[in-house]
Each structure stands twice: as structure tokens, then as C-alpha cells.
Amino acid sequence: MRNNGLLTKKFDKLLIANRGEIAMRILRAAHELGLDTVAVYSDADRYAPHVRYAKEAYHIGPSPARESYLVIDKLLDVAKKSGAEAIHPGYGFLAERAEFAQACVDAGIVFVGPSADAIRTMGDKQRARETVMAANVPVVPGVAPGTDEELVAAGNEIGFPLLVKATAGGGGKGMRPVYAATELPDAIAAARREAQAAFGDGTVYLEKMIVEGRHIEIQLMADSHGNTIYLGERECSLQRRHQKLIEESPSFVVDEDLRRRMGAVAVAAAQAVNYVNAGTIEFLVDKDKHFYFLEMNTRLQVEHPVTELVTGVDIVQEMLRVARGRKLRITQEEVKMKGWAIECRINAEDPYNNYMPSTGTITTSRLPTGPGVRVDTGVFPGYEVTPYYDSMISKLICFGETRGEAALRMRRALAEYRIMGVKTNIPFHQHMMDSHRFLTGQFDTKFVEERFSMSDREVMDELEAAILATLAAHQRGQQASQIVAPGMRDTSNWKYLGRWERLRR
């Protein structure tokens, strides 16, 4: 069935055009649905877990992604040879390339994702802004692309601070913060160069910088029968160089009314481009809880597990069902968020040396287990971490009935996690889980870069110790009033009890 350039039909064999933990995640979902699976691999991934886990595996070239995972013709050739009727792109690589989605459709292969037109429209940030504005979606004040001279003049009019942003791509590439007029010409030139190198398109525009903003995103699912729903929100403010490090669901600052309003706006944005399958609308939320559209990610997000845990919806399986032409299995009224989930991205990098990437062979990998702990990974002892791909080697996700329980489980899981042979950012996450600012939700998108340091590890004072003691007692079924904070005889008037109440939401 073709719908606005989208091909949906029943299929029994799926090719996963990706690698690492996301390839394993998709393979597992496909196997549970009874689908045959096909993996692809480069030289560097010859012994990777996804190669062994799939029913079939095909070599597609040398280690560099531009010679293997990014070559559309090679992937389509494997699909033809193997008889795969559908391709799931995962995230990264070709996941948001409109030409790949269109090539699949032209070859009669189901692309597990939105149409090429939707990817093209929402992948161009300026075009996306114009499209959602027509649907009455609030956007951050900005200036359309133009010449360097036009952008400088416009920037002086809207004022500082502001951001220079590439219209194509993502991940912080082609983006420069500007705090004064004298910085703007150089920032525009640098952003153009980086965008051209990364995306082959040096077009940039200006956007007002939201100070003390939170990065909140809404997970969407839509089918080809006209149904679009949102699965709550994710808090993604803890990031460095615009790369997310820790995500959680729900968000500490989003109440039911704000969630409903953001969800309705996200659905309207998706419907404006006839969106089908999984997608995410990213918003900036200011300190007064005004929210603004940032961009749409037309793919599965890295951080999707936290949403799965609090809603009970298997997003990857739902993507596959939608691609087979089926209706969503759940309505908006049936979406219920229960509990709290936190995800830490475990990267092969050195947090004590400016987060420099770490390569080498993993000699030991001992994963944490126990109640409420999930690890999505694609590595094993003997696995070689190479410089060819992203440094993320796993995702550690912890679930609890409350935010406090999820945080405590994350602390325990991080302490259990053992990876040897390469350096990882596990110490960074342990540091963050000890931070009273994290525990009490006092952070924004600039927190990691401007107010957090591995060289200045916080010493937990009596108040933080009391908060954690109260959290632990809560898990044992005790009442908060039974815990006496150090130096305090009576907790009934504990002036920080409000912080605990927020923490245990």
C-alpha cells in the first residue's frame, strides 16, 4: 500500500541497516514477531554480536562507514540477494536520509520509517520551522538563511545571545553560540565550514538562545490509517557539546497540563507533514515553562528505552507493525505513564581527559543485573572498539516506581558495571548520580559544560546524605517523618522536605 510516497505491506524478512546495540535491539524485536532477519557488517564488525544473532549476515565493505554502512547501493543489493522485503535503518548512518527512504520504495522495499517527503521536510531545519509555524506550533524566534552580511544585520536586531545553526543534519554540528556582535561573523563562517564538511550543505540560520532552558522531547507514533499519538516526554537536558548523556522519563519539570499541551503541539507538527511511524519532536522549555519547537527527529531515538519502560509500549515492534500496514495497538486515551526511568549512555571515552575517545580491545565486560536494570549493548570481551564509529558501547537503563528509586538503582548498577580494556565515562555517571543538583532536578542544557566538573567532585554534605537516607527508607516502606536529618531533632518542619517530595515523584 502506497500512502503519500510511503510503502507499507506485510513482510516476513527484515534487513537491519545498522550495527552495535541498536542492531541488536531491532533484531530482538524482529525475532519476537517471528520475522527472519538479515545483518550487514563492515570489516571492523566481522565478529560483532549482531552478525551472529541474525539469521543471515552479509559483508558490505571496509571499516569506514562511507565505504560500507553509508553506501545505499550495497544495502539494496544485499536486500535483493537475501530476499529481504523491508529495511530498518535504526538511528544514525542513513536513518534520516530521504534519498535512502526513496530508494527503498523505488526498489519495492518497505522502509521502516516515515516517507522520504516527511524526512526531507523535517530534516531541513528552516523548512521544518516554516511548516510547523503554519500549523500554529510555537518556535524559537529566529532568522531565515541568508548571506553573511544579512545574517549579521539580522543578528544585531534580534539581540544576543543567539545560535548559528546549520539547516541540515544534527548532533550539534554546524552550531555555534554567539554572545556578542563581534563574535557573529566568525561564528557564521565556522558553522558554514563545519556544516559543509558534515552534511554537504553550508546553509545556516540564526536562532535566539533560550537561557536556562530544558531540552524536552515528545515521542510520537503514527500509522498509515490516520492515527497519531504521543507517548509522554523525555528529559534530555544533560548533554555536552549538544550530545545527550543522560535521559529520563518523565521529566522533573513537566506536569500533566504541560505534557498534554506539548503532546498536542507535537501531534499537530507531525500531522502537518502526514508523518507515519516513530518520530520525536524536540522542544526547548524556558524557566517559565514556555516551550518552543526545535526540530523533529524522523527516526528511532537512542533514548527510546526510557519511554518503553514507563509506558509499556515496545516502540521498535510498533514501528515494524506500522510498516506492515497495521493500525497502532494503543490509543491516546490508553497511554499511561507509570514509574520513572533513567538512561546513561556508556561511552568509550576518558572523562578525566576532556572526554577523549578511547579505543582498544575490551578484556572484561561484566553487566549489572537485578530488578529494574536493563542494558542494551553490542560489545563483549574480546570486542575491539575502533575509531570508525560512535563511541557509545552500551545504554544502561534503570526503572523504579519513583525517580528516587530509579536513581538509587542507577547508582547500584553503575557500581556493578565492569568494563576493562578501554576507558569509559562510567565515573562521570557515578559523579552525576551523587550530584545534589541532579537528584533535585536543578539543571538545564548548560549544566554539564558550565557547572559540573570531574576534577571538583562534590562531597556529599549532611543534607544530601539525609535525602538519600530518606530515599532508602522510602524504598523500605518507612515514612519520611521517621527519618531524622543529621543535626535536626524534628523533621516535621524540615525546610528541605519539599526537595524530597519533588525527588520522590
Q: Which residues are catalytic?
A: 299
| β-strands 13-16, 86-88 pairing | parallel
Distances (CA, A) of 314 to 198, 328, 377, 464: 32, 11, 17, 36
What separation, in Å, do the N-terminal and C-terminal C-alpha atoms of the chain show? 45
Judge whether 86 and 65 are in contact, CB under 8 Å. no
Backbone angles phi, psi at 376, to 5 degrees: -105, 115
CB atoms closer than 10 angstroms to residue 11: 19
CB burial of 423-437 (b: ≥16 within 10 Å; e: otherwise) equals: bbbbebbbbbbbbbe
Cell representation of residue 35: 520475522
What HEC string does 399-456 produce? Answer: EECCHHHHHHHHHHHHHHCEEECCCCCHHHHHHHHHCHHHHCCCCCCCHHHHHCCCCC
Backbone angles phi, psi at 69, to 5 degrees: -65, -15
Helix (H) or strand (E) holding 375: strand 373-377
Sign of the dihedral through C-alpha 473, 479, 485, 489: negative
Q: How far apart are CA 431 and CA 245, in angstroms?
A: 13
3-state secondary structure of 395: strand
Residues in contact with 354: Cβ distance below 8 Å, sequence separation at least 6, in sequence order: none
Amino acid at the residue 333: E
Residues in contact with 186: Cβ distance below 8 Å, sequence separation at least 6, in sequence order: none
Omega of the bond leading into 161 within 30 degrees of 0 (cis): yes
Residue 419 half-sphere exposure toward CB, CA atoms < 13 A: 31
Closest CA to 301 of 235, 385, 214: 235
Q: How far apart are CA 279 and CA 316, in angstroms?
A: 11
Q: How far apart are CA 498 and CA 505, in angstroms?
A: 11
Angle at 10 between CA 7 and CA 13, to 5 degrees: 100
